[in-house]
Amino acid sequence: MSGFDMKNDTHRRYNPLTGEWMLVSPHRGKRPWQGQQETPVSLNLPEYDETCYLCPGNSRAGGVQNPKYNGPFVFTNDFSAITPNISDGAVDDGLFQAKSEKGICRVICFSPYHNKTVPQLSSDEMFAVAKVWQREYVELGSKEFINHIQIFENKGAAMGCSNPHPHCQIWAQQSIPEIVSKENFRQKTYFEQHTKPLLQEYVEQELQRNERVIAENDSFVALVPFWATWPFEVMVLPKISKPSIAALNDVELRNFSDMYRIVTCKYDNLFKTSFPYSAGVHQAPTDGGNYDYWTMHMHFYPPLFRSATVKKFMVGYEMMAEPQRDITAEQGAAILKDLSAEHYLHK
């Protein structure tokens, strides 16, 4: 006989995508919610900034001049973390193992506007960005030495973003990185046991339970995953499993980019601020293998907790032991679900 209640009792939750557990302490999140009392923040950035190295027509740090672009603008990062032209090599000396790593890093400016973040872009403007992701995934992925493609956005100084001009990045590389490798293993194992993609089953159950879904359209669902660690962590999943963005038709691709806008709009509306986050798309590797078991998805990891200035820190216990959260995933979802998908500055 158990009176265990996830709403009140401290418990651990399992993340089937990584095989890891995390700690939830709901009683610590029971203080009254004050999120709606923020004073609206307007950043007042100009549409064009002559000192910005990403604005159209300006010179970048490496001396290259940007074209006067009027849609999304892609270029190879002048300071790429991974580059294609290094010699292959390895160290294999007992406990000391190392391997050379090749890759290509790109930067994508969402639009020519210095002051328009994702939630402030139109559906058409964001769809144009998604078309670039699709093209880059296919083109980079077809290269022999590229086996994984990570698309991600770091937004806001709180997340270490060094340039306010809204942009995202692509790091395409030879190896399948650690986090993706874990998720790959779990999805493969689940598929072998159930002959159904793990995240297909998950999204169906979440839609049925309807406790953590915050938005949906014809092709995609945004939800706070059961195992979320950040207070307002969100995952975007396709309703019908697709291994990558390359498998989406234009309608599905637009529904995907719309969901990106809707989630970030809700984020901005939460504390009436330009909400910082790290977000990224996980997709099937591009090494030519069979990835029928893979479901593409997007993670949003935002650091803010109780206001535009109060951050959740993953320190102490989180660094030493495992992630921990105060409000439950269901409480986070209820707050996000209620927020408008129309930006507070557009009203």
Only one of the segments 44-52, 70-78, 187-195, 216-224 lies at the binding site for Zn ion (rule: CB under 5 A); that segment is 44-52
Pick out residues in 172-201 that bind Zn ion (CB under 5 A). 183
The DSSP bridge partners found for residue 279 are 153, 300
The one-letter amino acid code at 310 reads: V
Six-digit token string for 86: 């290094």
Binding-residue pattern over the window 118 to 157 for Zn ion, x denoting contact by CB under 5 A: ----------------------------------------
**Catalytic status, residue 167:** yes
- Active site residue: 167, 282, 297, 299, which one? 167
> Rounded to an integer, what distance in angstroms lies between the CA atom of residue 326 and that of residue 318?
13
Neighbours of 84 (CB within 10 A): 15
For Zn ion, the closer of residues 52 and 172 by Cβ is 52
Neighbours of 199 (CB within 10 A): 25
For Zn ion, the closer of residues 52 and 335 by Cβ is 52
**324-325: strand order across its sheet:** 11-15, 20-24, 324-325
By CB under 5 A, name the one of 102, 165, 186, 325 that touches Zn ion: 165
> Rounded to an integer, what distance in angstroms lies between the CA atom of residue 145 and that of residue 148?
9
User: How big is the site for Zn ion, counted in residues (CB under 5 A)?
Assistant: 8
Distances in whole angstroms, Cα of residue 175 to Cα of each of 63, 179, 241, 292 = 31, 12, 24, 20
Only one of the segments 21-29, 30-38, 107-115, 187-195 lies at the binding site for Zn ion (rule: CB under 5 A); that segment is 107-115
Cα 158 from chain centre:
15
Helix (H, G, I), strand (E, B) or coil at 281: strand
Helix H segments across 142-236? 178-194, 198-209
Only one of the segments 32-40, 50-58, 131-139, 311-319 lies at the binding site for Zn ion (rule: CB under 5 A); that segment is 50-58
Six-digit token string for 250: 């234009």
Pick out residues in 268-307 that bind Zn ion (CB under 5 A). 282
Angle (nearest 5°) at CA 238 between 235 and 241: 120
54 is a contact residue toward Zn ion (CB under 5 A): yes
Q: Secondary structure of 303-323 in the HEC alphabet?
A: CECCCCCCECCCCCHHHHCCC
Only one of the segments 111-119, 186-194, 196-204, 245-253 lies at the binding site for Zn ion (rule: CB under 5 A); that segment is 111-119
Q: How far is the CB of 124 from Zn ion (least distance, A)?
A: 20
Only one of the segments 36-44, 164-172, 221-229, 246-254 lies at the binding site for Zn ion (rule: CB under 5 A); that segment is 164-172
Q: How far is the CB of 22 from Zn ion (least distance, A)?
A: 15
Pick out residues in 202-261 that bind Zn ion (CB under 5 A). none
Q: How far is the CB of 32 from Zn ion (least distance, A)?
A: 33
Six-digit token string for 226: 């059961």
For Zn ion, the closer of residues 183 and 233 by Cβ is 183
Among 179, 185, 106, smallest CA distance to 146 is for 106
For Zn ion, the closer of residues 13 and 282 by Cβ is 282
By CB under 5 A, name the one of 15, 22, 26, 52 that touches Zn ion: 52
For Zn ion, the closer of residues 114 and 148 by Cβ is 114
**By the criterion CB under 5 A, which residues form the site for Zn ion?**
49, 52, 54-55, 114, 165, 183, 282
Catalytic residues: 167
